[in-house]
Amino acid sequence: MKMNVKLSDLSLRTRLILVFIVILLSLAAINCVQIYLFVGYVKQYNAMMETITLTNTINGELKQQLDNEIRDIAYGRVPFGEGNQYEFLANMRENLNQIEKDDKKGRFVQEISAVRENLSSANDYIDKLGEQIQRNAPADEKNTTYEYITIITDLIDNQVQTLLQSTLNASELSQKSIVTSLKRDITIYIASFIGVIILSFLFAWYISGSFVKPIRALGKKTNEIAEGNLTIGAIAIPSKNEIGDLCRSYNRMFYNLKDIIVNVRNTNDLVVLTSKDIHQSILENRLAGEEVAEATQTISINLHKQDELIRKSASTFDLVFQTFNEILLKTNKIYSHSSEALQTNEEIQQQIKSFEQKFINYDKKLQQINVDLEYIYRSTNHFNEMYRLIRLIAKEPNLLSRQLHNDEEEIKNKTEINRASELFNELYKRSHLTEKETLQTHQRISSIKDQISFYLNDIHESINITEQLKSTFLKKHTITRNEEIEYQRISSHMQEAFKQMESVRQIISEIEYSSKLSKSEVIAIAAMGEEQLTTLEEVSDASYKLVERIQKMKDNIRQFTI
C-alpha cells in the first residue's frame, strides 16, 4: 500500500521514465539471451566446418603431398634428409589432434584412433625407408617398403574418408539441431517480445489509470459546470503529483466560482427588483403621456377633419338641393314603373294558371292511357296463358299419334294418323310463332308503359315547378306592392328632410366658426404633449435596455444550479 502511494506521488515524467527503463531492460535481457544462444550456434557451426575442412585437408592436400614426397625419395630424386615427409605427417597429426579437440562429444574417437595408428605405421615405414637409403639397400627392398607406405597411405585415405563421412553426418545432424533450436529460440523471442509488449501495455494501463481517471473526472465536471450545474462536488485525489495539483486547483476554482455566482445572483436579484420598480413607474408615466398625446392628437385630427367636413358640407349642400329634385322625379318614375310591373305580374300569374290547368288535363289523359295499357297488358297475359293451353293440347295428339303409329294391330290407319300428326305439327309451329309475336307485343307494351310512367313523372315535376313559379311571382307581387307603399313614404320623408336641411345649414356655419378657435388651442396642447412623450420614451427605452441586460445576466447566472 505504501509502495502504491509512493508510486502515485511520483510525477508523470518519472513514471514514464520508469516504465520506459523497465521496457528497455526487458528487451535488452531478451536480446542478450538471444544473442548468446545465436553465438553458441555460430561457434558450433564454425567448429563443424573447421572439422570438415581439416578432414578434407588430411584427405586431399597432405596425403597427395606425402605420396609425392615418398615417391621422389624412393626414386632418389630428393635426398631423404632434405624431404618434407615428417613435416607432412606432423601436419596430419596436428589436424587430427585439432579434430579430436573439437570433438567434445566424442563422436569420432574410433575413426581418429584408426587414422592415428596408420599414421604411426606410416612413420615407422618411412623411418625404415630412411635406414634403407642410408645403408644403400637394394632397390627391391626399397620398392617393397615404398609399396607398404603406399598401402598405408591408402588405408589412411580410406579411414579419413570414413572420418569425413562421419563428420558430414554429424554436421547434418548438428545443422538440423541448430535449425530446430534457432526456430525454437525465434519463437521464444517473439513470444517474449509480445509478452514484454503486453506487460508494457499493462504497466502503461496501470500507470495511466492514476492520471486518466482524474483527468476524465475533471473533464466531466468541467463540462457540467459549463452546462450550469454547480451541484457537483470536488475531486478527491490523494496524490501529490501534477494531476493532484491540477485537481486541487480545480477544487479551489470550483469553490471560488460557486461563491462568486452566489454573491452575483443575490446582488442581481436586488438589482432586478429595483429595476423592475423603476421600469414599472416609467411605463406607467409613459402610458399616461401616450394617452394624453393620443387624446390631443385625436382631438386635433378630429377638429381638422371636422373643419374639412364642414367645408365639404357647405359645398355639397348646393349639390344636394339640385339632386333632391332629381330624386323626387325619379321616385315618381319608379312609382309608375312599379305599377306597370304589378300589372305584368298579374298577367303572368293568369298565364301560369292556364298553363297549370293544361298540365292537369294532360296528366289525366296520360293516366287514362296508363289504365288502358294496364288492361291491354292483362289481356296479353290472358292470351299468353291460352296459348300455352293450346300448345299443350297440340302436344297431346302428337304423342297419341306416335303411340298409334307404334301399335302393330292398327297398321291400316297409319296414313291417316300420319296426316293428323302433320296437321298437329303445323298447328304447333303456328302456335310457336304466335308465342313469339305475343312476347314481342308484350315487350313493346312494357316499354310504352315505362315511357308513359317516365312522362307522368316529368309532368308531375313540371306541375311542381309551375307551382313554385306561381308562389315566386306571388311573393314578387307582394314585394312590389310593399315597394310602392315605401316609395310613397320616402317621398313624404324627403319633403320633410328638405325643410330640416335649411336649419342644418345655419348650424354648420356656427360650428365652423367655433372649430377654428378650438383648433388653435388644441395645436398648442399637442405640441407640449409631444415634447413630454419624447422625453418619456427616451427614459423608458434606457430603462427597458437596462432591464433586458439585467435579465440576460440573471438568465446566464440561473443556468448554474447550486
pLDDT digit string (tens) for the chain, length 562 residues: 444 445 556 666 777 787 778 778 877 887 888 788 778 777 767 767 776 776 666 665 556 667 777 777 777 777 776 767 777 777 777 877 777 777 767 677 777 777 778 778 777 877 787 787 777 777 777 778 778 877 877 777 777 777 777 777 777 777 777 778 778 878 887 888 888 788 878 877 876 666 677 777 777 877 777 776 666 766 666 566 666 777 777 777 777 777 777 777 777 677 667 667 666 666 766 676 666 667 667 766 766 776 676 677 666 656 655 665 666 676 666 666 656 666 766 776 676 677 667 767 766 776 777 676 676 667 666 666 666 766 666 565 555 555 555 554 455 455 655 665 666 566 566 666 666 666 776 677 677 667 767 766 766 776 677 677 667 767 766 766 766 676 667 667 666 656 666 665 676 666 666 666 666 666 766 666 667 667 767 766 766 676 676 777 666 666 555 5
* CA angle 395–398–400, rounded 5-degree value: 110
The amino acid occupying position 412 is: K
| Secondary structure of 491-532 as H, E, C letters | HHHHHHHHHHHHHHHHHHHHHHHHHHHHHHHHHHHHHHHHHH
Give the per-residue pLDDT at 3. 47
What tens digit of pLDDT does each residue of 382-407 get? Answer: 666 666 766 666 565 555 555 555 55
Strands (E), 468-554: none
* CA angle 250–256–262, rounded 5-degree value: 130
What tens digit of pLDDT does each residue of 292-350 get? Answer: 667 667 766 766 776 676 677 666 656 655 665 666 676 666 666 656 666 766 776 67
Architecture of domain 10-222: Up-down Bundle (1.20)
> What DSSP letter does each residue of 400-453 carry, written as one string?
HHHHHHH-STT-TTHHHHHHHHHHHHHHHHHHHHHHHHHHHHHHHHHHHHHHHH
CB 300 within 8 A of CB 527: no
Return the bridge partners of 229, or none: 561
| Secondary structure of 444-479 as H, E, C letters | HHHHHHHHHHHHHHHHHHHHHHHHHHHHHHHHHHHH
Q: What letter does residue 252 receive in the DSSP assignment?
A: H
Would you state the cell numbers that stand for residue 422, as one nine-digit string?
302433320
CB 428 within 8 A of CB 394: yes
| 461 CB-side CA count, 13 A | 6
| Distance in angstroms (rounded) separating the CA atoms of residues 431 and 112 | 148
Burial class (CB in 10 A: 0-12, 13-18, 19+), 469: middle
Strands (E), 102-210: none
What CA–CA distances, in Å, run from 481 to 95, 344, 352, 485? 163, 13, 20, 6
| Distance in angstroms (rounded) separating the CA atoms of residues 301 and 288 | 20
| 231 CB-side CA count, 13 A | 4
What CA–CA distances, in Å, run from 40 to 29, 32, 36? 17, 12, 6
Largest CA distance in the chain: 200
Q: Say which residues have a Cβ less than 8 Å from residue 150's Cβ, sequence separation at least 6.
A: 67, 70
Closest CA to 165 of 304, 57, 52, 89: 52
Q: Say which residues have a Cβ less than 8 Å from residue 154's Cβ, sequence separation at least 6.
A: none
| Helix, strand or coil, per DSSP, at residue 560 | coil
| Distance in angstroms (rounded) separating the CA atoms of residues 557 and 357 | 94
Q: How far is CA 244 from the centre of its chain?
A: 44
Q: Which long-range contacts (CB under 8 A, 24 or more apart) does 79-86 make?
A: 80/129, 80/130, 80/133, 80/134, 85/126, 86/123, 86/126
| Distance in angstroms (rounded) separating the CA atoms of residues 538 and 544 | 10
Give the per-residue pLDDT at 70. 72
| Distance in angstroms (rounded) separating the CA atoms of residues 328 and 324 | 6
Closest CA to 431 of 470, 397, 474: 397
Return the bridge partners of 561, or none: 229
Give the per-residue pLDDT at 524. 65
Burial class (CB in 10 A: 0-12, 13-18, 19+), 354: exposed
Strands (E), 316-379: none
Give the per-residue pLDDT at 419. 62
Give the per-residue pLDDT at 415. 63
